[in-house]
Structure 1
Amino acid sequence: MCLNELTIQEDVIETKYSIQLVSKLSGVGVHTIRAWEKRYQAVVPSRSDSGRREYNDTDLEKLVLLNQLCTLGHSIGKIANNEIPVLKEMLEKLGKVEDKTEKTESVELDYNLENSLSNMILGISAYKLDIVDHELNKIKLLTNTREIVVKILVPLLQKVGSLIQRRELTLSQEIAFHSLLKFHLGEIIFKSRKKNQSLEKIIIATPEGCFEEIPLLLSTLLMISKNFEIIYLGTNVQAGALLEATKATDASAVLLYLGPHSELDSASYYKKFIQFLDKKLEGDTRLYALKSHKIDQIESSFSKTHLVDNLRELDKKVVL
C-alpha cells in the first residue's frame, strides 16, 4: 500500500498523507496524533471513502509546530486550537525562528561530517541506536542535502550492508535502524523541500510492487539539492497513476527507484514498466531510473529514460 496518495481535480494536485507518513514527517507519534484529535481536535483530517485519515500539507505544518511548542514546555490542551500564524508567533517569542543566513553559516562551518559518520558507524557496530539518533538529529541542521547523502548516508548504509552480510546485525536490528533512519529522513525532507512556481517539478516514486523506500528518500534529498520542487508519491505506484500525476503537475521529470520486486524476473518487469512510460510521457519530460544492484541489467534503448546504477551516478546525470 502507498504511504501517500494524490487527489487530482481540475488539474490541481494535492498531496494526501497517511497517518503513518504524517507521523514520520512531523515527529509526532501515531497514537499521540489520534489522542490530540480525539481530546482537543488539534488536527482533524479528512477521511477517505473507506474511513482512513488523510492529512494535507496544512495539517502536517500544524503538527510540526505543535510538536515544537510541546517540546519547549507548552501544554497541548492550551495550544491545540490555535491557528498556524499564532503558533508561529509563539515560536518567534521563544526565539526559535532564527535568521536563516546566520544559522547556515555557523552550522556548516562548525559541523564535522567525518566525525559524525565515524560516530554513527561506531553506534551501528555496537548497536547503540541512541548514538545514531543523536548524530542524525545534528545533521538535520545542515542545509546542504547533497552532502548529507553523499558524505554521510551512503557510506553509513554501505557499512550497515557489510554488517548484515557478515551477520553482525540481526534482521530485527536492521529493521529498527531502517525505521529510525526513515523517520529522520522524512523530517529532513520536510524541512528542506522547496515550493515555488518557478522551480521545475520532479515526481519521485517506486513502480508498483516495489516497497523499498530508503533509496527513494535519499534520491529525494539529492533532487532537493538540485532545486527541484518535489512531488513525492512514495512506493508501489502504478504506471497509469504516474502518467496522470505528471500531466496534472506539469512535471518536467520523473525519478523511479527500481528495487527488489515480487516478480521472479524483476529486470523484465521493470523493462516493460519503463518502456510504457518512455512511450507515453509527453513533451520533454525526462525519466530517471535508479536501479538497485540486486536487479539484473536492463538491456534496452529508451528515448527519454536515463538508467543509473547508484546515487553518485544519479547525482551526475540529473542536470536542470
Structure 2
Amino acid sequence: MNNVKTSFSIRDMENLSGIKAHTIRIWEKRYNLFSPERTDTNIRTYSLESLQKLLNVTLLYNNGYKISKIAKLGEENIPVLVNEIIAEKSEKSHALNSFKLSMLNFDQALFLNTYNELTEDKTFTQIFNDVFLPLLNELGLLWQTNTISPAHEHFITNLIKQKIYIHTEQLQFEAPTKNDEVYVLFLPENEIHELGLLYVNYQLALNGYKTVYLGQTMPVESLEDLLKYYNNIRFISYFTVTPTKDEIDTYFERFGEVLKKSPGSKLWVLGHQIQDFDEDSVKDPIVIFKSINQLLDSL
C-alpha cells in the first residue's frame, strides 16, 4: 500500500475539490465535518476518507444543499443522497471525483467501473467532452501545485488513451467513406503528448475520413514521404511543449517548403504552444485552431 496516497494537506483538499481552504476550515470548525490530524508543527493533514467525504459534500453543496443541512445528514446518509443526485443530474461531477480518486491511488478498477457506468447512457464523444476534457484541464493545476506527481498524470492519461485506441480500432474495420482528402496526424520532434491528437484521429475516423496516424516526434523531412502516396493531404499536428513559441515561425517556414511540393496540401495546428500565437502572421496553407472542437467544426 506504499504506492497509495493516504494523507492530504488542506491545499490538496482545496485543489481537488475546488473549495477554498478557508471555507474548509470553517466547515471543519463550525460544523465538525472533518477531523484532521495534526503534525508536530500543528499542520492539518486529512485522510483519504476525509477527501472522499469532502468531494461528496462539494457535490451536494454545488447542487443547492446548505452546508448546515449537509452537516446534519450523518456519515452514512451523505453517500446515499449523493447517489440519488447522481441518478438525476450530476453524473459528470461524480465521475470527475471518481476519476480523481482513481488517479490518486493508481486504482485501475475504479477507473474502469466509473467509465463503464458512464457508457450506459453516453457515447464516447460525450464522455470525452463532458468528463475527460474537464479532468485533463484540471491536471495541469494539480501538477503545478504538487497535489499530484507526473506518475499520477501518466497513469490517468494512459487509461484514457486505452479507451481512445479501443474505439478507434473499432472504426478502422470499416473502409473510409470520404476519400477526397487524407489526414496525416503527427507530433513534431521531441513532442510526446499525444492524447489530444489521438482523440482528433478518432473523431476523423468516426466521421468517415481516411487517416494516417504517425504519432510522436516526427521530423519534418520524414513527412515528405507521404507526398509520394497522397495528394491533398491535411497534416495535423499538436504543439503542447514543442516547438517552443520562439521556434514556431522557423518551424512553419520549414514546413512551408514541404507544402510547396504538394499544392493543395495544408498544415493544421493546435495545442498549448499556439494559443497566444498571432493568427494574422500565418497564411494558407497553414491554419491554426484554438481548440479540438474548432478544428472538427471546420470539417
Q: The TM-score by the shorter chain falls in which range? A: 0.5 to 0.7
Task: Give 1:308 deviation, angstroms.
Answer: 0.8
Aligned equivalents of 2:256, 2:113: Cα separation in 1 = 44
Deviation at 1:287, TM superposition (A): 2.5
Q: SS of the residue aligned with 1:157?
A: helix
148, 151, 159: which one aligns with 1:169: 148
Would the aligned equivalents of 1:257 and 1:291 in 2 still touch at CA under 8 Å? yes
| Residues 144 and 248 (structure 1), Cα distance of their counterparts in 2 relative to 1, 3 Å cut | farther
Aligned residue in 2 for 1:236: 217
Partner of 1:292: 272
| Cα separation, 1, equivalents of 2:276 and 2:226 | 28
The partner residue of 2:206 within 225, 229, 236 is 225
Does structure 1 retain, via aligned residues, the 8 Å contact 2:259–2:285?
yes
Q: Does 1:306 align with 2:287?
A: yes
CA contact under 8 A between 1:136 and 1:184: conserved in structure 2? Answer: no
**Corresponding residue number in structure 2 for 1:268:** 249
Question: How many residue pairs align between the two structures?
Answer: 207
Give distance in 2, aligned partners of 1:301 and 1:183: 35
Work out whether residues 260 and 295 of structure 1, in 8 Å CA contact, stay in contact via their aligned partners in 2: no
Aligned residue for 1:315, secondary structure, equals: helix
Do the aligned partners of residues 122 and 197 (structure 1) sit closer, same or farther apart at CA in structure 2, a change above 3 Å counting? Answer: closer
In structure 2, the CA distance between the partners of 1:188 and 1:228, relative to structure 1 (3 Å rule), is: same
- 1:191 alignment counterpart: 170
**Structure 2 gaps, min length 5:** 1-86
Q: Counterparts of 2:89 and 2:232 in 1: how far apart (Å)?
A: 34
Q: CA deviation at 1:195?
A: 4.3
Residue pairs, 1:5-84, within 5 angstroms: none
Task: Answer with 132-141 or 211-220: which moved more.
Answer: 132-141
Matching residue within 119, 129, 132 for 2:95: 119
Write the distance in 2 (CA, Å) between the matches of 1:138 and 1:202.
33
User: Relative to structure 1, is the Cα distance of residues 301 and 179 closer, same or farther in structure 2, using a 3 angstrom cutoff?
Assistant: closer
Asked whether 1:257 is paired with 2:233, we answer no
1:102-181 → structure 2 map (5 Å cutoff): 115=91, 118-125=94-101, 127-128=104-105, 129=107, 130-137=109-116, 144-181=123-160
The answer to whether the 8 Å contact 1:224/1:230 transfers is yes
* Identical pairs, percent: 15
Q: Highest CA radius of gyration, 1 or 2?
A: 2
Deviations 1:82-115 (A, max 9, x none): xxxxxxxxxxxxxxxxxxxxxxxxxxxxx99962
Distance 2:176 2:92 in 1: 36
The 5-angstrom pairing of residues 86-101 of structure 1 reads: none
Q: Is the 8 A contact 2:241 2:273 kept in 1?
A: no
- Identify which of structures 1 and 2 has the higher relative contact order when contacts are C-alpha pairs closer than 8 Å and 6+ apart: 1
CA contact (8 A) 2:268 2:287 kept: yes
CA distance in 2, matches of 1:157, 1:311: 14
Letter in 1 for 2:138: K
1:180 partner letter = L
CA distance in 1 between counterparts of 2:254 and 2:90 reads: 39
Gaps of 5+ in 1: 1-110
- Opposite residue 209 of structure 1, the aligned amino acid is N
Of the structure 1 ranges 219-228 and 256-265, higher mean CA displacement relative to structure 2 is found in 256-265
Given the two structures, how large is their TM-score scaled by the length of structure 1? 0.54
Query: In structure 2, the residue corresponding to 1:280 is in which secondary structure?
Result: coil
> Distance between the aligned counterparts of 1:141 and 1:217, measured in 2?
23
8 Å contact 1:255–1:288 — kept in the other structure? yes
